[in-house]
Structure formats: C-alpha cells, structure tokens
Chain A
C-alpha cells in the first residue's frame, strides 16, 4: 500500500475534495482502487460475479470504504471500466435486434468484407451475424453518393416492417441506409417515425454513431451498438441502484474504448464506444505515470492469464486506431487481418493482443516445434503446479521450475507444487524435444516471450517506430515476471514497474480525462481547399463538442479542443490524421508529407486530398489521480531469502536474493526477485533497479 500526499489538490483548486473510486471488472477478478480526501490510496481484489458483475462492484466498494474508514456519502465519483459490452458480444447475450436497410442491401452485414483470419483452413466457421437474415428488412429509399435524394423514403413500408419486427419481439432496431453519411435525412426521418410509434423501442441510426463512408463498417458498428445497448443500460441502472443503496450519490463515469471517460448516460445510448471499456485504462494510467516521471515514450505491456497486450504512448500521447474487430478467442496482433469478427469503426486505443499468458499451455507439435498457447489452462484446472487437475505444462509451471516464482502465490492463497510442474514439463516437453526439463522450461519462456514481443512489434515496428527509444511499462499480475526479458529481446533499455502493477488498470481510470469525438466528411483536393468552409465546419464541430462536454459536467475553462484533418494521396483508402494548427493548404501539405514519410519512408508527388475533419474535445477532470503525489512507504530491509534461478544456457542457474517489494532497497543490482502482494518483479543479472519516492521501480537493463 502506498500513501498519497495531498499535494495533487493544489494543482487544481476547483477540485471537490473527497473519495474517488476506480473499478476494473475483469473475467476473474474485480480490482478496486480508492483515493481519499487525505490522499491515501487503498486497493482490493475481489472475485468477479460474471452473472451480475455489479454485485462484485458494490461488494468491493463496501469493503474498500470499510478499509479506508470512509462513508458512501463522501464519495465524489466512481470511475468504472466494464466488460459487460465485450461479454455480451462474446456470449451473444445481446438484445433481439433488427436491422432496416436500403432496398437491395440487407445482406451487407452478413457479407462483410469476405476475408478469413487464416489461410488453407477449409474448416473455418464465419461468425453468425448479430442480426439474422429474418430480422434484416429493406425499405425503398435511395441517396446518391453526392447526397442527392434519388428515391424518397417509403414511410408506409418502413412502418409495416417495423410492426413486423416489434411483433417478433425485437427490442432494439438499427437503421443503416446507403450513402447516409452524405445525407442523413432518411435515417433521421425513420428514427423519428419509429420512436413516435413505439415508445419502448431502442433505435440506433448509423449516422448517430458513425457518419462515415463504407457501408459494411457503418452497418456493423450500428448493429453492435443496437445489440449491446439494452444490456448495458440494464447493467448501469442496476449498478447505480446498488451504489445508491450503499449511500453513494456521486456520478458514475464509464471508461470508453479510447481510454477516456464519459458519463453513464453517454454509455447508455452509445455503448459501441465502450466495448473495450477498461482495457484502455491501463494505457491511460501508463501515460499519466510517464508524465509524472517525465518519461514520454512508453510501451504499456499488460500480461494476464490468457492474453498479453501492448500499446504505445508516444511523446505522451496514446496511439489510437479508428476501427477494430471483436473476435471470439484470440485476436492476433496483425492489424492486417480484417475478417471473422464484429467490426466497430470507433476510436480505440491501439492495443495489440496475443494469446499468450501465464496460463498458456506449452506443447510440441508432430513436426517437433515447441508451441505455447493459444490454449490456456485458465483458472480451472489452472497450471499443473496448482495441482488442481491440470497436467499440461503452462508458462507458470516453467516460471516456477526456473525459480522465477515463489512457492506460495498471492499473499498465501495458493501453494504451488514443484513436482507437478516438473512432471508436466518432463513428460510433455523435455522428453519429446530431447532436452533437460530445465532447458525445456527455459524454452517455454523464450517462446512465450517471442510471442508477446509480437504484440509490442505490432504497435511499434509495424508502425515504423523503433522500440529501442521506449520504456516498457509492466502491468498485470504476470507483466513484471517477463517484462525485462521482453525488453531485452527488442533492445528496449528500460522497464518501469508501477507500485501496484496488479491493480494498475483501476488506478489508470482515476487518472483519465473526459473526451468526446466529432467527425465530418470534407472531401476535396488539398490544392483546391476552401479554407473558409473548413474553418466553418471546425467551428460547428467545436460548438457541438462544447455542448457535449458541458453535458458531461466539464466547465469551459477546463476544455481543450484538438482539430485534425484526415488526408491521403489521391486514390488511397487510408487517411492520416494531421493536427490542424495554422491556416492554409501549404502548412497542411508540409505536415502531411512529414507524417507520411515518417510512417512509410517515402513521399509521393501525387495530389493530396482531404477526407474529413475531426475534433477531439477534452475536459480535464478536476481531482484526477496524479502519480506525482503518490509516496511510497518504505523501510529498506534485508532479503527474505535466496532462490536458485535459471537464466538460460549462458548465465546458468544463479542464487538470487529475494526481497519483499515494499521493503526492498531503493537501489539494487540484478539478479534479484522482488515479491509484492499483487505481482513478482524479476530483475535480471546486471540490471540496475531504482525505486522512486512513489513506489515505482525503474529497471535499467545491462
């Protein structure tokens, strides 16, 4: 536990002083972090309750308030990341949803973009569309590519179709008409008609979530929104009731896929922006931590039980993508694949994920190749060393055998069996590979590290960014066990382990800002740019953004607006967003050329065109967590013991001092193992580890 000095308070004098709670709901655990008016930080992990996730949240908050001796009435905000959206997609438990399209196009959703995630796999199954064909209906209407109305909306046909769908028991309707991004009139008309006729019906029209070209991407995004909406609404209502019952009347903020915060109200109507709620918060936390420590270039690496993920913070800014696919099972780090998932074109923190985690099972294939993952032993039966029925070797078994992990995990809750781990590795890996058990276990670690390094490559090398200029931030229960090795693999010089890596995502939520995004198509050639028209559109967007931020409770002086221009060479499909700073086509062209060359290594002489204008409205949240104000409570003491750890064939097995992380020396040279309540930190031989006043550990690799 770390103490927090109240120094942060005087940086933002408008801050209402009080208790703040961050909650990250995961599949196995719900993590909660509380900061109180006195500046203290408390955290807790409670078991998740997947059938009703709000139950664990309410229970955990009650326990945390008791820990801190605070009352519900003193809570000024609850910030929340939830997996309700992603679980709804994963388990297909969304609302019965209908889709109304332009005549001739009801199958756009099911046809999709046709590709498959793998090759040569004739047994692949395409995921079933969220709306089956029987509930996809067409009405006569047509807008041309330039926005002209070619065929007016047939309102009678629309009402007949709606009557049918409602009679079939559907509670949520998506509307997506062709070319509506150029002229939304028919969609808006249809939405009004449906809402006027059916009071309880949820209606999502495509331009309200994504006014952009490409009918499949827009339809899919709209359908995900419609499908998840009633479920997330119910959940948030239950959670708010539970919080009220606990005496908390503070506003509930929800973390969106882009790492920003929004009111629960926004999450209710536009849930598609919240599907990866929470996953991004760790990255936001990493960026804030970096800001506090004056480290601006970071890769945030999060390793859990079944997956590991990486994302980039460059010059203090989070890397974002404008679309992603939700896929059952494992998403590969290749952003090239566009198939086999539920496409959402919404701004999202660019997180690359691989199916490698502490529970990943290692095996040898018939050709003699050592493989790790993507199958995971999960929590049940768990790794072989849990001795709970699992017999296949996992990454955790390898780590135990090599000496990286203690015999007793997570504050004494679970004792690990060396014998079971050794037997699993010997029988399934060492024997078929003809290696010693130690070498095989080391191999498992090497292979899983290489797999996880792919996630980091995906957000660095694949974007033309050299990872060697970055500091690796290790979070998640297993992140600090592997981070140093992965950093070495990619020649990254430093690893930063925050004070509480295991609950860091919940902490990140307390460090977030409110953000809203606005986009308007603005197609033209850059050399024929009508600057006045561009400025007018940006001014419009700013008015919209201001109103939206005000609705989120942000005062005008706390608002920041960042206009961007999406541009590309004529004929390209993908645009690059360039900040709009100074007026005129020439500076825009220069900025585009520079950004393009940085990314692709060449610049074309062809015509540059503008695609759309974007505006990000950001509201600095009063009282958000500032890592600068955190202070570690430390009293250096001697190692708690020594352990033999195998560092590979070159370094061999070495006796390594093991420290309690809370009382480890402020500076030490590896090899060393630091054991904390929520994670184990491995400091490899020759590395220098320095703890700062806030409990963060900075490891400089040899």
Chain B
C-alpha cells in the first residue's frame, strides 16, 4: 500500500490529521453515551481507534492509552483467521489473549470499512466488559492458575457476517456471562460506535479519495518517526537499567522483579526485559503485545506532547522479553490481572528513561489503579450484581513540579464511579472517599497523594476480589526523593479488623467494611531542599502531618506555624548525618 501511496501536500495532511482526531473523539463520546456498565460508562475503561486497511493506527481517542499498542497484534490475529475473507457488513469480535487479545474482559471489536469494493480501513473499539464468566464475578481474579478459569475465550469470530447477525455467537456470550444485559448492551454500544466511525471515514473517502488517505498515512507514519528519531538522537548513547517489583502473584508474596535495559544507539532505542521474573502461577502474567504497548507508552511520555501515537513511533523502538517470562508467558498461563504488570512495565521503563532525561522524568505514581471487585446476588431480588471499581491514583513528583493528588494513571485516562451512583445501583455504602494524608513521597518536589476508599457491604454476602499492589514495594522516588507510602487493605468484619494481602479473593458478609488506602507518588530531589513554606501549606491543608513534615522534610511546624530556626537546625543536623 505504502509503495502506491501518493505524496501528500502539507496542507491536506494537517487537515486530515485534524479530521481523524475528530472522528475518534466522536467515537469515544458515543461509547460513553450508550454503554451500560459503570466500568465503561463511568470509569471509561475502553478505547476507540481508526485504522487503515492494514490495521495501522490513523488516530486514537483520549481513552485508555495502554490498549493501543496492542492493536497491531490484534490485527495480525484477524489477518491469520480471515485474510481476504472480509466483507462489507462484517463485524469481528475477540478477546483471547493467545489469539490477538489482552485479557478476557477486554473484547475487541473490528469493523472493516469498504468504499465500494475497496477495503479502506477499520473502526476499532475495545471495551472492558463487566463480566465474561469464569470462576470469579468480574472475571478479573489474580489467583487463577490457567486461562480456562478466567472466562469465555472468544477467538476472532464474526458477530455480523455481511450484515447478518450471528445469533449463535450472541447466545453463547449471553449464556456464559453473569450479567448478559450489560454485556450485550455494551456490545451494542461498541457496534453503534463502529458504525459511526464507518460513516465518518466514508465521508472523508468521498471527499479526498482513498488514495489520498493512503498518502496521508504514509506521511503520518513518517512524521511520527521523524519526530521520534530527532528526540532519540539528542539522548546520550548508552545502556540504562532499572528494576521495579510487583508484590506477589496472588499465591506467594515474594517480590516479582521486572528488569529493563534501555539501549540508546543513534536515533533508535531498544528495550530488553531479560532478567525479569519467569512466568508465575497467578494471573499477573502479561501477553507480550501488552508489554510492548506499555513500553511504547512509557517512551512516548518522554517525547514532546505533539508526537502522534502511531506505528511510526514504534518503528524506532525495539522491544524484547524472554519467552516463558512474566512478560511473554506460554499458553495456558492465566493473564486476567495483567493490567497491573503493564503499569509496572511502564514504571520500570520510566525509571530507566529518567536517567536519560531527568528534566522530563516523573517519580513513580500509585502503581496503577487498585481494583476492588464485589459480586453476588441481591438478598431480596436474587438479581446478580457485580461491582468492578477501579481506584485512581497519584502522579509522582516532577523536576520542577509536585506530583498530582488524585489523578488517573497516565497509562489510562480513566475516571471514577460516583459514590451516589454506586449507592443507588449496588447493595453498598461508601463510607469514605478522600485523599490519603502523608501518602506522598518526600522530595524537593513531593509526590501526589493517593486515595482512600471505604466500602460497607449491605448484601448478605459477596465474593470480594482485590487486585492491588505497592504493599511491599512502594512507588520509587527519583534523585534523592523518597518513596511514597505503601498501600494497605483492611477488612473489618464482626468487630475485628484485619490487614489483608495485596491480592485477595474471598467471601465477605453483610456489614463487612473494606478499606483500601492507596499508595501515593514518589518524591523528586532532596526533601531537605524543599521550600519550608510549601511544607507548611501542606500541613495547614492536612495533606502532610506535622510529624511527616519533620521526618520527611526536616520542617518543624508548631501550632500551624513554621518554626524556621528549628527547621534550619534540624535540616543542618540531617545534612551532616547524611
């Protein structure tokens, strides 16, 4: 295709770039307006993309960024199954991590788009469905041991074949999930979105012609590559290493290392994960496509804001991970909780890149959203309920800016479920939703504060499933900045409180109170160099306690006032000790 592509003038190029961005945002908006499950419509765990006929990304909406690097492998699976057997009116869905997917709850939908007989592109919508069956409500357990426990596996299949609805597939999906109305409703939402994308792409083809679109794509990829290579060329050659950890695999709390070596050579880089943990028994294994996606994303975060996220950027980045490792597992390893591994891959790569570009670096954030999943049956109506709540987040400190209190993980762009919606929808009461005092890492710039969320179960019983992390391995600080506070899970039942592990699946009963205290963001630079006035402001706001002001920053605050002489003395003695 690219060989045949005609060169495009710079004006049409800019116009088309804007047009594609508008289409994918429009698609994203359609999902939000029409989806049924809170995980999609409120938390916004989905993504929308427009691709060319070879599956190369033309534009992606400001949705879950981590999904997008996985599109090329998904496209390869589609090609393996169908080749040229794609026709107007076809809609393909799949979720199998070993056949183009990421983990089972993420159902990909591809709609090939034809202008007359010519295949011109694909509308792509990926949604995290609230349940796809399996042993645990929400299909997200960390402690499964093979993929067969995780739910319904869908290889690339036609949900619509030349416009004809595949009743068999719809019925199989509906029979194998706990909340068929929501799952089918969300599939309908994906479908509506694909149709909208198709309509809008065809409008562009009608105006500019399919050849022009090909010309655009060739230039768009080159443009992304040019920007990326010019940035890499300015990075000093060398190999930069970093190691970060996941707390445990759901069975064993032994830390699981992720090791990276980023090698900069001229205007390209290679990212190698040799030395990372072998694949584990639990479900935090990650497909390699998802590892690549997380890697691209981390590298992309160190480039200028205007660099497009497309295959032209990826061409400049080599990624490798040993087969049989956590980051490239053998079938049938479980992968449902792989998002966590994606977050940590991004943290690890960012840790290595911090050494290359300290001015753009960010200390580690909360470590990825914490998932609190509660599923069961309403005591009165016997209707099933499944809460999939994702708690975000805190950004780590930057070179010249504090981190951000309460913010989505940068790999995503997710939102939260309103407390009033949760309480009106589920047998739950939320008792607290707040910033977590003292959770920030100390530094010349402090990290962001994490979040506390506390739930009381009102139903008779529920299966509780927690996928959290950063208990034992807190978010790292940079260049002398301290780590953030570790996360904690606390269960109070029958008058007794218990600190839980980071990954838990168990049954809880009415009145149980589940509290998650999320990790904050790491600090940046020497905390003793932080302006004491800023520490005082945080103390007055109750974001930092007087104790932490003293222990973390060497700042003495008494009765809401800064004690400058005591601060100077304390800082001097600390500096001497160090």
Contact = CB atoms under 8 A, between A and B. Distances in A.
Interface string B387-410: 000001101001001001111101
Contact of B29 (A336, A601, A604): A336
Contact of A367 (B65, B223, B419, B421): B223
A590 interface: no
Contacts of A598: none
Contacts of A122: 301, 360, 362, 395, 398, 410
B62 A337 contact: yes
A650 interface: no
Interface of A: 104-108, 110-126, 132-134, 144-145, 178-179, 181, 213-217, 333-338, 365-371, 433, 435, 442-443, 446-447, 450-451, 454, 457-458, 461-462, 464, 523, 569-574, 600-602, 604, 606
Contacts of B490: none
Interface in B419-436: 419-421, 423-424, 429-435
Given A115-B408, A601-B196, A105 B434 contact: yes
Given A114-B393, A115-B414, A606-B181, A121 B423 contact: no
Interface string B522-541: 00000000000000000011
A600 B418 contact: no
Nearest to A462: B26
B144 interface: no
B418 A213 contact: yes
A214 B414 contact: no
Nearest to B30: A600
Contacts of B414: 114-115
A565 to B, nearest CB: 18
A685 B407 CA distance: 52
B425 to A, nearest CB: 8
A216 B418 contact: yes
B540 A134 contact: yes
Select the residue from B41, B182, B431, B432 with max chain A CB neighbours within 10 A: B432
B496 interface: no
Contacts of A573: 32, 35, 38, 41-42, 421
B503 interface: no
A120 B410 contact: yes
A336 B24 CA distance: 10
Given A111-B451, A119-B62, A336-B25, A602 B192 contact: yes
Select the residue from B392, B424, B451, B540 with max chain A CB neighbours within 10 A: B424
B418 A215 contact: yes
B397 to A, nearest CB: 11
Given A144-B423, A600-B30, A114 B541 contact: no
Given A123-B401, A145-B423, A336-B29, A371 B14 contact: yes
Contact of B19 (A110, A116, A125, A450): A450
Select the residue from A119, A215, A601, A606 with max chain B CB neighbours within 10 A: A119
B230 interface: yes
Select the residue from A333, A462, A574, A606 with max chain B CB neighbours within 10 A: A462
Contacts of A108: 419, 433
Interface residues of B, number: 87
B401 A115 contact: no
A110 B433 contact: no
Contacts of A572: 33-36, 41, 185
A204 B481 CA distance: 42
A365 B224 CA distance: 12
B84 interface: no
15 contacts: A104-B433, A114-B392, A121-B410, A122-B360, A122-B410, A144-B423, A145-B424, A336-B29, A366-B227, A370-B11, A371-B14, A433-B10, A573-B41, A601-B195, A602-B192
Nearest to A104: B432
B416 interface: yes
B413 interface: yes
B542 A133 contact: yes
Nearest to A457: B22
B305 A118 contact: yes
Contacts of A112: 406
B457 to A, nearest CB: 14
B543 interface: yes
Contacts of A442: 11
Contacts of B36: 569-572, 606
A658 to B, nearest CB: 27
Given A114-B416, A335-B29, A369-B223, A447 B11 contact: yes
Contact of B18 (A111, A443, A450): A450
B305 A120 contact: yes
Nearest to B302: A122
A600 B18 CA distance: 23
A213 B421 contact: yes
Contacts of B429: 144
B184 to A, nearest CB: 8
Contacts of B10: 368-370, 433, 435, 443
B498 interface: no
Given A107-B434, A370-B11, A446-B15, 20 more contacts: A105-B419, A107-B406, A119-B62, A120-B410, A126-B405, A126-B407, A179-B420, A179-B423, A213-B421, A215-B420, A334-B22, A367-B230, A368-B10, A443-B11, A450-B15, A457-B26, A464-B196, A523-B424, A600-B192, A604-B188
A126 B404 contact: yes
A108 B41 CA distance: 19
B311 interface: no
Contacts of A110: 405-406, 435
Contacts of A116: 407-408, 410, 413
A462 B410 CA distance: 26
A570 B433 contact: no
A450 B14 contact: yes
A447 B15 CA distance: 6
Contacts of A213: 418, 420-421, 424
Contact of A215 (B14, B192, B307, B419): B419
A115 B415 contact: yes
A114 B13 contact: no
A134 B539 CA distance: 9
Nearest to B44: A115
Given A111-B433, A450-B19, A214 B421 contact: yes
Select the residue from B192, B223, B307, B309 with max chain A CB neighbours within 10 A: B192
Contacts of B33: 572, 574, 600
B370 to A, nearest CB: 13
B327 interface: no
What 8 pairs between A and B have smallest CB-CB spacing? A571-B36, A104-B432, A145-B423, A133-B541, A450-B15, A111-B406, A367-B227, A336-B29
Select the residue from A108, A433, A461 with max chain B CB neighbours within 10 A: A461
Nearest to A450: B15
Contact of A368 (B25, B226, B451): B226
Contacts of A107: 406, 433-435
Given A145-B420, A365-B306, A573-B421, A447 B14 contact: yes
A485 B304 CA distance: 32
B200 interface: yes
A370 B17 CA distance: 11
Select the residue from A133, A145, A336, A606 with max chain B CB neighbours within 10 A: A336
Nearest to B38: A573
A336 B185 contact: no
A376 B30 CA distance: 32
B196 A367 contact: no
A106 B542 CA distance: 12
A602 B192 CA distance: 7
Contact of A454 (B22, B434, B454): B22
Nearest to A596: B34
Select the residue from B14, B200, B223, B307 with max chain A CB neighbours within 10 A: B14
Nearest to B402: A125
B297 interface: yes
B152 interface: no
A121 B416 contact: no
Contacts of B418: 213-217
